[in-house]
Amino acid sequence: MAWSIADVARMSGVTSRTLRHYDEIGLLPPAWIGSNGHRYYEERDLLRLQQILLMRELDLGLREIQAVLDNQVDQVAALREHHQRLLAERDRLGTLARTVGRTIAELEEGKDKDMAKINRPENLFEGFEPGRHEAEARDRWPEQWEQSQRTIAGMTAEGMEQWQREVTAQMIRMAEFMMARTPVADPAVQAEVDAHYQDVCRFWTPCAAAYKGLGQTYVDDPQFRTNFDRIADGLAVYQRDAMAVYADARLS
């Protein structure tokens, strides 16, 4: 029995775009491709996908997963190493939750919403790891990754802190729009998205499709989505939808 890529996407929750990417890098080729060009998967492929998703939950990179599945790396040894990473991640997430909690408390207390004036601004960034998606970005967008690395290398510690501050403030402003039920096409929201796009362009310049893809990644990638939704539940989807409107209107 075989299942189409749409069937597999529906059963697993993995998007068709991600499944096609897994095929392109040789991680999960379909059993066969029909005359209509559609990918079809058999039971052994579903079992392989299950293992991929398990190891993604354990924060293994795609190259590491492929090495394990192709028996180039001992699975137990790989899992033991990443068990240690999980324990460290548990501590990091606890710190991150406390960081966001402090920010919410200060905003709710009616303090100045200018992020530059919040007491002890360094507290805003405890638990964040800007480079945690570096390996996958390097695999998927090598040219853009190289460009971004050159930009990051040229940033001072003060410049990096200021950038992190701006990102945090931007996420909170978008959350405020969402909580006020402001449509994503509203000019004020789109002005905020334009600021986001200009910030992304400091590192690499996405076309309309790439910018939409970045927005979708915020939703599809569990870690990105968690970071957004920790600010406000549903923020990742709201951000994605606003970016899609911007891409269609400004980048197409």
Q: Are 22 and 28 in contact (CB under 8 A)?
A: yes
Secondary structure element (H or E) that encloses residue 41, with its range: strand 39-42
* Phi and psi, residue 33, nearest 5°: -120, 125
What is the pTM for the complete model shown? 0.46
User: Judging by DSSP bridges, how do beta strands 2-4 and 39-42 pair with one another?
Assistant: antiparallel
CB atoms within 10 A of CB 195: 13
The predicted pLDDT at position 155 comes to 65
Residues with Cβ within 8 Å of 28's Cβ and at least 6 positions away in sequence, in order, are 19, 22, 45, 48, 49, 52
Q: How far apart are CA 216 and CA 20, in angstroms?
A: 15
**pLDDT mean values, one per 10 residues, the chain (252 residues):** 91 90 92 91 90 78 82 67 70 67 65 44 44 50 62 67 75 88 93 91 82 87 80 89 94 84
The predicted pLDDT at position 131 comes to 46
Q: How far apart are CA 89 and CA 87, in angstroms?
A: 5
3-state secondary structure 190-245: HHHHHHHHHHHCCCCCCCHHHHHHHHHHHHHCHHHHHHHHHHCCCHHHHHHHHHHH
The predicted pLDDT at position 79 comes to 67
